[in-house]
Structure 1
């Protein structure tokens, strides 16, 4: 049997891969750029946890034997650089690992706003009993931008609690589960209580939610972003919130991460900030390793890999 070399980069649970690798697989570990440069020659596969995607471009000249990259994240925007996109290297992501957790996070952000939980916490810290009425999420309307696995999981969970959901993508298409997906250009944000951004970051979605789009939302609406920070024009968002043109926002991703301490978003009481952890379950690394091992068996057998990315689109073209 032909030996196949795998480079495992910055994996928090390397023992899972080493202990359960199929017969015929050699494993090399790498963390730094120098280690990666030394490990790549002769390696066909890279299993990467470098979520900022900074190391591989630095050592690409050492990756001539590379055939497949298993990315540990759902979004691959940080990974895709021109030389990789133009190569024959197959890229797969960890789609499906994070979907349900992120959907729960979206619902949590919505409930926190409608039930005024941030106000309750602030009052608790002051030992203040302050009565307020609250609102339901049931019966509200959410427009979910992004009809991939994460967007669909969000729509599924919100629908289960009585939220009226419309999925939005780049083009209109039929959908048996959700009654169709509408094109972004055909959107009607005037009826939205929530705009949920769950789209991958591409050249087409960078700042897709800008000042003009925010102005289409009613002042009673809130923005939820669990996709990519750069999909939302943060300057425009701050301006809309300051002007009272938006009721609030729940943000897990930002244009600059960590969010700078001088960002006005930190000081807005109608904004809930979480540190890009919506999908990060305690056992996420184990789940990603399981997916990689399944794909590794497929690779050895010459079978199609799960979660293959269209590198030019920047996401999976089908879910």
Structure 2
């Protein structure tokens, strides 16, 4: 069965990528900002969410009179799981697979930056200041990856190849995971987080993971530990993290995601010398837009032929069905 060209609404933040024209031969395309979404949704079959921080769905939802599929150009889907969407029969798919390796490379880069003190080197270079220092090895150091989905597994492969000892935290404990070996239960995080040199956050944002690293958990970290967050800002209680950094409860943090984005200019995180701030870019590499569109167009072909969609999200769990976290 081959269905007629569906109506696809692209929700964007102001300027949709020029590459979106690749969709035009396969669908009737409508562009909409958050304010325009209620007017664009009537009669639409598909919503392609390019604006990953959008909060437009609740207000626009009554206009979604024909919608059967929502696709997001992100791995995380927390921004889409509104009560109306959860109660509906609308299928959600994500862009799992596009960001795995780039984000793993970013995490390795952060580990090396801390170990080799590269952030200090750059600051000293800016000041024309020569200061010899001794740095650390990463081989033999331990990393705890919180989140056992595809991104977490790609990170594990990268860090393991660099000689690090990697374990994970997920929904359920197990000792025979093919990529991590040992997976601890996230609920028991305070009991083992102190054993690790690097704590990497790569979990989806769910009710269970929101605020996972708070003052109580951070207080159990080793004072030499560094935290790397490539998941969602809300996985960490930001005020507690700032306190932990200021008081040397932990040694540093590399943050690619934040509670508020862009990060406000008055945030203390900008000025702390043991913090690396990047503007939510860990997964964005040359050619990423075309990769995202390749994935969407493959699913669009399946949609038009009545076939099962790839990367279908379990809406109750908040991630792709069959993926353990």
Distance 2:159 2:59 in 1: 42
Query: Would the aligned equivalents of 2:8 and 2:47 in 1 still touch at CA under 8 Å?
Result: yes
Partner residue, 1:6: 8
SS at match of 1:249: strand
Distance 2:240 2:55 in 1: 28
2:320 pairs with 1:316 = yes
User: Paired residues, what number?
Assistant: 314
Partner residue, 2:126: 125
TM-score calculated relative to the size of structure 2: 0.92
Superposition map of 1:129-140 within 5 A:
129-140=130-141
Deviations 1:112-136 (A, max 9, x none): 1111111111111111111001111
Distance 1:2 1:264 in 2: 53
SS at match of 1:181: strand
Partner residue, 2:226: 222
Partner residue, 1:50: 51
Query: Would the aligned equivalents of 1:189 and 1:217 in 2 still touch at CA under 8 Å?
Result: yes
Distance 1:6 1:243 in 2: 50
Partner residue, 2:24: 18
The more displaced of 90-99 and 76-85 is 76-85
Gaps of 5+ in 2: none
Q: CA deviation at 1:99?
A: 0.8
Partner residue, 2:245: 241
Distance 1:8 1:273 in 2: 30
2:127 pairs with 1:103 = no
Q: CA deviation at 1:252?
A: 0.7
Distance 1:59 1:176 in 2: 43
- Flag the 1:267–1:35 CA change in 2: closer, same or farther, 3 A: closer
Gaps of 5+ in 1: none
The more displaced of 192-201 and 26-35 is 26-35
Q: Say what the alpha-carbon RMSD is for the aligned residues.
A: 1.5
Distance 2:262 2:40 in 1: 30
Query: Would the aligned equivalents of 1:219 and 1:247 in 2 still touch at CA under 8 Å?
Result: yes
Distance 2:62 2:218 in 1: 43
Deviations 1:172-194 (A, max 9, x none): 24422332422113441121001
